């Protein structure tokens, strides 16, 4: 099956890093292709026997964006495995990145200063808000990756995991995170496990993570942990067929605790084991992977 990865998202969210990662993974990559040329591009590369293609589209082609979602549906009907990936980040993270690189936002028309004043920041935030509005429909039809807390190496690794799966059924993504660093923007379902016993307060367990046997054994012995784990798993299992019927490609289940090291990590690992037999299951540990 021919595979097309469409990379889009908010300016400054990491599209260049994503395209370099896909190129390293063996994809033929084209940046900023006008969406209306996508069918001709696919036809040309079919003649060249290219099976793995990646195209980056952003707000610079804003006039063509309204027809992009219907076009992706048409390509799926023609047998192309289409994977739209939308990179997002918090507004604060985006403002910081533009300030550090001194690059202009494509909708602002003005360079970002190294230390923007109130007026410069307001103009940049307004441009980001407008971009979110223009790309909202495409975001809703895509797999979202929140890059606010990600290093480039993390983003490259997560992208490789996403594009390696060729199974047509919905892929389950279980992600642990720390509430103190914010809820992931890419989460579809969010569960708060901060009410569970915290291994952090045990000096012996504190250096370990939820992937390590001492912490796992401690949490497994807590009745409330077992109960909550079963309830979360049962909820996901009950509604998974409905998410699949909704033609989704990915469902991200985010589990949060205070520091993203112990309870949320253990819960993610346990849930992933439960659902692994159905296939297409990915694990992300936002705070651990960022070390």
Binding residues: 9-16, 58-61
Annotated binding-site positions for GTP:
58-61
Angle between helices 91-101 and 118-134 in degrees, nearest 10:
120
Which residue ranges are tagged as binding site for ATP?
9-16
Say how far residue 201 (Cα) sits from the centre of its chain: 31
- 256 close to 264: Cβ distance less than 8 angstroms: yes
Q: State the Cα–Cα distance between residues 184 and 90, nearest whole angstrom.
A: 9
Rounded distance between C-alpha atoms, residue 250 and residue 4, angstroms:
16
Half-sphere exposure of 151 (CA within 13 A, CB side): 8
Length, in residues, of the chain:
291
User: Is the separation of the CB atoms in 274 and 226 below 8 Å?
Assistant: no
Residue corresponding to tokens 């705070």 = 287
């Amino acid at each position: 099956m021919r595979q097309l990865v469409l990379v889009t998202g908010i300016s400054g969210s990491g599209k260049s890093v994503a395209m370099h990662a896909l190129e390293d993974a063996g994809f033929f990559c084209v940046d900023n292709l006008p969406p209306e040329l996508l069918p001709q591009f696919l036809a040309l590369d079919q003649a060249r026997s290219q099976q793995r293609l990646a195209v980056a589209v952003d707000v610079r082609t804003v006039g063509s964006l309204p027809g992009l979602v219907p076009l992706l549906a048409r390509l799926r009907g023609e047998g192309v495995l289409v994977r739209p990936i939308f990179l997002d980040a918090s507004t604060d993270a985006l403002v910081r990145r533009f300030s550090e690189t001194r690059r202009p936002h494509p909708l602002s028309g003005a360079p970002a200063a190294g230390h923007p004043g109130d007026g410069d920041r307001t103009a940049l935030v307004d441009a980001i808000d407008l971009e979110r509005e223009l790309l909202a429909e495409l975001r809703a039809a895509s797999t979202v990756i929140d890059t606010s807390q990600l290093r480039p190496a993390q983003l490259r690794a997560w992208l490789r995991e996403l594009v390696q799966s060729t199974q047509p059924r919905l892929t389950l993504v279980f992600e642990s995170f720390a509430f103190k660093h914010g809820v992931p923007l890419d989460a579809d379902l969010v569960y708060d496990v901060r009410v569970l016993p915290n291994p952090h307060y045990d000096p012996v367990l504190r250096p370990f993570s939820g992937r390590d046997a001492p912490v796992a054994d401690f949490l497994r012995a807590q009745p409330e942990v077992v109960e909550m784990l079963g309830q979360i798993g049962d909820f996901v299992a009950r509604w998974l067929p409905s998410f699949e019927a909704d033609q989704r490609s990915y469902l991200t289940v985010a589990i949060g605790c205070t520091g993203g090291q112990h309870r949320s990590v253990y819960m993610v690992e346990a849930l992933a084991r439960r659902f692994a037999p159905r296939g297409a299951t990915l694990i992300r540990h936002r705070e651990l992977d960022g070390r």
